[in-house]
Every structure is written in structure tokens, then in C-alpha cells.
Amino acid sequence: MKIFISFFLFSILIFAQSPVEKFTAQAKAKLNNDGSGKQLVWIYFADKGNTLEKYFAEPLNVVSEKSLKRRSKYLPKESLIDFTDLPVNQIYVDELVKLGFQLKQKSRWFNSVSGYSDAKIANQISSLQFVKKIDLVAKLHKTYETPEADGTNSPELVPQPEGIHIYNYGNSFAQLNQINVPALHDLNYNAQGFTVGVFDAGFSLLSHEAFGNMNIIAAWDFVNNDSDVGDGSDMGSGSHGTNTLSTIGGFRQSKLIGPAFGADFILAKTENTDSETPVEEDNWIAAIEWADSLGVDLTSTSLGYLTYDYPFVSYTWQNMDGNTAPITIAADLAVKKGIAVFNSAGNEGYNATHNTLGAPADGDSVIAVGAVTSSGTRASFSSVGNTPDGRIKPDIMAMGSGVTVASSYNTTGYTTSSGTSFSCPLAAGASAILLGINPNLTPIELRDMLYNTASNSEGPNREYGFGIINVFAAYQSMPLPVELVSFNATVNKNIVELNWATATEKNNLGFEIQRAIIKDGDILSSNDNWVIIGFVKGIGTTITRQAYSYVDKSNNSGKYHYRLKQIDFDGTFTFSETLEANLNSLMEFKLNQNYPNPFNPETNISFRIADKMPVKLSVFNILGEQVSVLINRIMDAGEHQIKFAVGNNLPAGIYFAELNAGGKTNVIKMNLLK
């Protein structure tokens, strides 16, 4: 008892001597209780120093070009970055470390750092002028695995009709068919060119056959601060991440197909699954900032935060208001920067009097996904809303009971798992296809489109949200821009013939052809410099590939830019990329992207050359080995196209087509699926 009293007085003395107003009540209580024990805390800074203009002058020093392009959907060109994007002041961080603070994560968005500190060090830190606030980092013991007691873990398998869809989904057909994904896959949509971030407890078996064609462009372990997101010798097991990643983007014919199998993936290990260590939300915040800087378009997270370690209760259902948990604030901020954020609603089940959500599912801009069975009824474990301020939660539903996933232990095995952990990647992956079709959609426009076409849109409620999504119906509701698969210019004696083709059409009124001149090497491409030179009527509302052309005969010598303004029947429009034509010479040398891509069993490769010359078109595998020579002869100037057909001799994977002509070389990447 004397020891306890002495320790208690010591703690009181420490905090009596410090400016306690900088400590939150939770931080003060935790540090007081544990005394010399180190706690994981947030240190918030008052500013970011005085040398900030250099970042605003060069935004690419802060985030990637892809991130800036994504942000342009929301933000004016001159405001693509703001104060939240600037790095924390390293001098401030160094001062904390000198005092004994053990740094864990940095947060640009919150202008803070997380790390370990005892009461004495925290008191010294609070006296620093540049420190604004000290708080605890929220923790949550694992609750993502939900045993099923109601018999829904073995769903009735929905057989796939033979000969209707282009892919064989195997046992994953039911989970995709329920949200109408196969109908989009049949139109060759699969989120190709789109970047998806998956945040989970690591990914233990990336050698699984379902990931054989997956394009993983970045990966980081925020638990152990290294690049290995698998199961190494450090903390955490990634079986859950393997399951969720396969759900969103795996691909193995007749076994499992994820809705967004053609996307580029960013993987973040944010959760420590070691039993003695709870989940920490600062890892997720660091991961979303990192993914944003790389240009991620959409994130899927199958975890949530509700309570601190016993006995310090923090978040309650009343705190699920969209404005309390730092992870929720970060998630909403990510949406403001143009990232679509999907999160599991939670596996806490039903409560008649209040919500059972876990942050950041409570965010007003976060799309919280609840779970249904294969028959469409709400799974008993799926968390319910609404938020304390009256917002509908969950937002949408997808299958989360008996979902087919890749095995975490066998590279050719498959199993079933249950939880909103799996309804989330299904909904997120399906939505990634929609954003891939129309990249100009903002996350809020995407969310509203899902709401309006979901099964419960007429009467959303706290158990079912807006209902089971229907991504094909959402696609049909889009004022879609026509998807150009080619846009080329042929020049002959100062006459320019423009040719373009579309993969599909929807609500297409027609194309306005616009031209801008390039003078003295400057590209005068602002809207004021474009001149309308013609209009080509659209086909209407067909869903088959269409070809168009327009001849411009009114040009003098010089260089010109052309673009297409595609106009829909409702008056909305979108612009194509610009195309340059040099009227002093023949067309440029170019190898176009193959179509379709990914492909199986054949694809078309087109190119153009300026003069009659020897041409060699070859195909190489990812190891640089030549697998085919498609052309090796003298060819005339102009546009050319050749079909590349594969038999059973080539395995699925990434291949490269290389065009050599006139001393120039172009290369494209192709994705063969089997």
C-alpha cells in the first residue's frame, strides 16, 4: 500500500508541474495510472515551421503526379495540395527524440507523430512551445473473425449458367452475381489502370495461384516498418489479408475471381495480430497518407476500432459520430482528396437501442459495407447503425457469409470465410470497376450512384442501409463518357483525317471536334485556344464497339492539337486526351496499347510508321525472353494492325510487345489471362 501511495503521489507531482491542459483526459489518466510505463501517444504540433512555400511551389515534392491528377476531380488546379499535405517539421521530431520519445509514425494530415512515452517524458514534451496536444493512440483487440452460429457459413451455391459469361467463376460466382459483377466483366471491364489499396493484417501467401497475375505496385508493413507484408520473423500474421486480397482481386478460372482483378494494387500491413498486442489506428493513418502520396484511387479496409485496452474505455457507440476518432477524420479527409474509402461496417451484430459500428465506418464520406447471406438476408453478425447524428449506416450491403477466398496455407487451395471483412472487398472491388469506366467520378458521386441503384434505395434503414449493390444498374445509370480505345491522326498533303473507336457507348449524343494550334513550341491548350471545327453524330445507346472519322481540310502548315468533346443526351460531357498532328510531315511513329487487355485467347496490336521501312514486332515474357515474332519485314507508311493469338503454350502473366522501326523502339505491356 505504501508503494502504491508513493507512486500515486509521484504521478500527481509530475502532472502538477506540467501544463496539463495539453493532455487529453484519456492520456492523463493512462499516464498517471502506469507511471513510468511507456504508453503509445499522439503528439500534435502547433505548426509546421516557416519554410512551407517550397512545397506549394513544387507539389511533386509532396505527392505523386497520379495523386495530383486524382485530386483534380475535386480541387482547383492551384489548390491541389494544402497545409495537411506538407510534412511535419523534422526539427520538432528530433527534439522529441532527444527527450527520450520513441517515434512510431508520422502524420502529415494531423501534423502529429505517434510513439512511446512515459509520464516524465510526456510532461517534458508538454512544456515545448511547438507542442499543441498529447493524446492516446486508440487500440482495439481483434474482432474481425466471426464464428457463425446460425448456419449461414455454408451458403447454397448458385450454379453459374454455362456459356453466358466470359469467365468461369467457380464457387465465387454467387458472391459476384449477387451484386451483378459478371455483367460488367462481360463488357471487358475489370478496373484495369485503376489503383486499389488494401489495408489489412499483412498478406501471408502472395505466392498463391490466385495472385499469379496480380500487379502489386507497392507494399509496406506499418507494424514493423519494413517492405515485407508477408509472414516473416517479425510481428503479425497475414492470413486474414490473404483472404481479403483474394476476395477483391484474385484470379483463377473455375476457382475464384475477384471483381477488380485487373487493377494495380497497393498493400499495407496495418494490423498487428499478435495476441498480446492490440490493433493501433496510427498505422492505418500512416498507411492512407502513404497510399495517397502514391496516387491510390480507392481503399478497402476490413477492420474497425471501438475500444481501448481494458480498463480504459474510449470510443463508445456515442463516439461513432464521424468527428471523434482520428482514423475516421483521416478517412473523411482522404475522400476530400479524391480517394474512395470503403470499410467493413463491423461484426458486432444487432442492438435494438444503438449502433454497433467501429471507426472509421462512421465517417460521413466513408462507405460502410454490411454483410448479407447468399440469399440476400442480413447476416446476424453484421453491425447496424445509425450514427448518433442520424445518418444511415451501414451504407450498402454485399455477401459476407460463406464467401469463397484463397487459402492462407495452401497455394492452390480455396475455402470459405464470413464477416463484413469480405463483404467490404466485394463491394469495393465492384466499385473500382465503375471508377475505372468513368475515372471522372468523385467518390461522393460513386457513393450516390450505388445508393440509388441498390436493393433498398426506396427505404434505407439501420440494418440494411441502402441495400445490396447492383453495379451493372449503377453502370447503366451513369452519364458515361464514351471509352476511346483508339484516337489517331493521318496526315496527307496538309489534310488531317481523324479516326477514333469506342469500346462501348451509353447516352452518346455525339462528338464535337476541336483544334488548337501550337506556336513557337508552346502548346496553347487552354479552353480559350480551342476552336470547334466539326461535329460527328453518335450512334446513341448501343453497347458494342463503334468507329468514327472526321477529315479536316482547312489547315496550313504547322503543328496542331486535336481533341474530342463527347456529349451525352443529358448535356454532360467529357474531353478525350489531346492528339498532335504535324502538317509538315507524315504521322508519327507509335505503338498503340493492345485491345482487349487483359486478353485470352487473342488481342489486337496496332501501330503506325511515318515512312516505308523495315519493321519488327516481337513479344517477350516478363523475364525478357522472346516468345514470338509477329512481323519482320519492310512495310509501307501508315496504320497497321495485327492479331496476336496464343495457344496452350504460353502461361498466363505479363508480356511485352516491342516495335522496332526506323531506329525507334516502342514497348507496351499486355496481360494474358487464363
If residue 452 lies in a helix (H) or strand (E), which one and from where to where? helix 443-453
421 counts as catalytic: yes
List helix spans (H) across 169-238.
Answer: 173-177, 181-185
Question: What residues contact 255, with CB distance under 8 A and at least 6 apart?
Answer: 170, 171, 172, 209, 210, 414
Question: What residues contact 170, with CB distance under 8 A and at least 6 apart?
Answer: 160, 252, 253, 254, 255, 256, 257, 404, 414
For 20, 122, 128, the CA distances from 96, given in Å and listed in that order, are 18, 9, 9
368-337-478 Cα angle (round to 5): 65
Catalytic residue among 112, 421, 423, 431: 421
Catalytic residue among 85, 118, 200, 332: 200
Strand 367-372 with 340-344, pairing? parallel
| HSE-CB for 239 with a 13 A CA cutoff | 13
Please provide the DSSP assignment of 20-40 as one string: GGGB-HHHHHHHHHHTTS-EE
**3 state SS of 495:** strand
Q: How far is the C-alpha of 240 from the C-alpha of 624, rounded, in Å?
A: 34
Catalytic residue among 165, 208, 240, 561: 240
Q: How far is the C-alpha of 366 from the C-alpha of 305, rounded, in Å?
A: 14
Q: How far is the C-alpha of 446 from the C-alpha of 505, rounded, in Å?
A: 19
Question: What residues contact 97, with CB distance under 8 A and at least 6 apart?
Answer: 103
Q: Residue-wise over 472-496: b if at least 16 C-beta within 10 A, else e?
A: bbbbebbebbbbbbbbbbbbeeeeb
Which of 168, 163, 160 is closest to 673 using CA atoms?
168
Q: Assign residue 288 a region: left if phi > 0, alpha if psi is -120 to 50, beta otherwise?
A: alpha
200 counts as catalytic: yes
Return the number of other C-beta atoms located less than 10 Å from residue 301's C-beta.
29
Residues annotated catalytic, as ranges: 200, 240, 421
